[in-house]
Amino acid sequence: MSLPHAILTALLEKPSSGLELTRRFDRSIGYFWSATHQQIYRELGRLETEGHIRALPAEQPTRGQKKSYEVLPAGREELARWTAAPQDPKPYRDTLLLRLRASAVVGTEGIEADLRRHLALHQRQLTEYQEIEKRDFPPGPADPQDRLQHLVLRAGIDLETFWTQWLTHALTEFAGLPDDRPTE
């Protein structure tokens, strides 16, 4: 149950229409909570019927007409409640690690190229985050809101750093492996 709260957060930061939200879920918020436009419209509908948000000026039948939403007090309260409530980290799932383990049994053919590709992707993401940091968080004292947002960005940077380092290490391991190893 996180998507509605992601949307409430985004709408509190700035009232938006469905498409504007979709765009913001492709950048900033999407860096740690992605969503497609279909999900967003469905959830906007639910949030509205629950009385957590409200369509802004709203006239005319809607198809094709932009419709902006703002958060109502009930929505803000729900978000505050959800934020404060403890939550367990959800079990980790990663296909790349799974494939690596599988490759120990059925052979490493093909996977090295994909490790290289993933490395490039993570390096690109890391660079993007670092540019955002340079642009939005200059050194020196900052107000609490900025410090919290910076903290979140730091997590992204450190995570991508971890992946680039681990993938680099993995590729050096592969360089030292015999040519292929199908355990048959």
**Cβ-based neighbours of 37, under 8 Å, separated by 6 or more:** 18, 19, 22
Residue 60 or 172 with smaller CB distance to DNA: 60
Does residue 6 belong to the site contacting its own copies (CB under 8 A)?
yes
Q: How far is the CB of 82 from its own copies (least distance, A)?
A: 8
* Residues between 73 and 92 with contacts to its own copies, criterion CB under 8 A: 76, 79-80, 82-92
Residue with tokens 């660079």: 127
Q: How far is the CB of 13 from DNA (least distance, A)?
A: 17
Residue 90 C-beta-side C-alpha neighbours within 13 Å: 4
Residue 15 or 107 with smaller CB distance to DNA: 15
Residue with tokens 């369509």: 55
Residue 1 or 151 with smaller CB distance to DNA: 1
**Cβ-based neighbours of 57, under 8 Å, separated by 6 or more:** 68
Judged by the rule CB under 7 A, the positions of this chain that interact with DNA are 1-3, 17-20, 34-39, 41-42, 44-45, 61-67, 90-91, 93
